[in-house]
């Protein structure tokens, strides 16, 4: 399918945008920036195993981009919060990625339609994610 290959090529383009965050680190930071979450919830939303999310969070904690906080009433649960440095790193990475992506979008016959399609995909992903979380909670 052409869309799958195109998305794979776009992700490769973003991986090489010159940011010091890997694409998985970027995804994790972006998700945490929407509101601190438990590590287990992040693992589920990112489709990563618990050990993988732990390692990713460890790396971001070591760099001062996120913090871990214990969840009151649950000694095993850990909430991940983005720091000010994490917000700066995320904004910088987004700017570099947008800069890398914009010339490709500009080559499209109708850039506004492409951007609108990305917004539709974002909404669809959010809806699918919300449904998956609701089903998991049952």
pLDDT of residue 97: 95
User: How many whole angstroms separate alpha carbon 39 and alpha carbon 77?
Assistant: 8
β-bridge pairing 74-82 and 37-38: antiparallel
- For residue 13, the Cα-to-chain-centroid distance in whole angstroms is 16
pLDDT of residue 47: 75
Full set of structural domains in the chain with CATH = 2-107 (1.10.10.10)
pLDDT of residue 134: 81
- Closest by CA to 93, choosing from 31, 12, 1, 21, is 21
Sheet holding 74-82, edge to edge: 37-38, 74-82, 66-71
User: How many whole angstroms separate alpha carbon 12 and alpha carbon 97?
Assistant: 11
pLDDT of residue 93: 95
Per-block average pLDDT, block size 10, for the chain (138 residues)?
90 89 89 80 77 88 92 78 96 95 96 95 88 78
pLDDT of residue 125: 87
Phi, psi (deg, nearest 5) at residue 69: -135, 140
CA angle 62, 68, 71 (to 5 degrees): 170
In this prediction the pTM is 0.82
pLDDT of residue 79: 85
């Amino acid at each position: 399918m052409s869309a799958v290959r195109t998305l794979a090529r776009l992700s490769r383009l973003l991986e090489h945008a010159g940011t010091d965050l890997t694409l998985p680190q970027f995804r994790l930071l972006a998700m945490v920036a929407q509101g601190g979450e438990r590590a287990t919830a992040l693992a589920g939303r990112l489709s990563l195993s618990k050990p993988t999310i732990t390692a990713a969070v460890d790396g971001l904690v070591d760099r001062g981009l996120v913090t871990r906080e214990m969840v009151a009433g649950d000694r095993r649960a850990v909430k991940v919060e983005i720091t000010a440095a994490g917000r700066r790193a995320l904004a910088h990475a987004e700017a570099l990625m947008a800069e890398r992506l914009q010339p490709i979008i500009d080559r499209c016959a109708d850039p506004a339609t492409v951007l609108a399609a990305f917004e539709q995909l974002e909404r669809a992903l959010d809806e699918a994610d919300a449904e998956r979380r609701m089903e998991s909670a049952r």
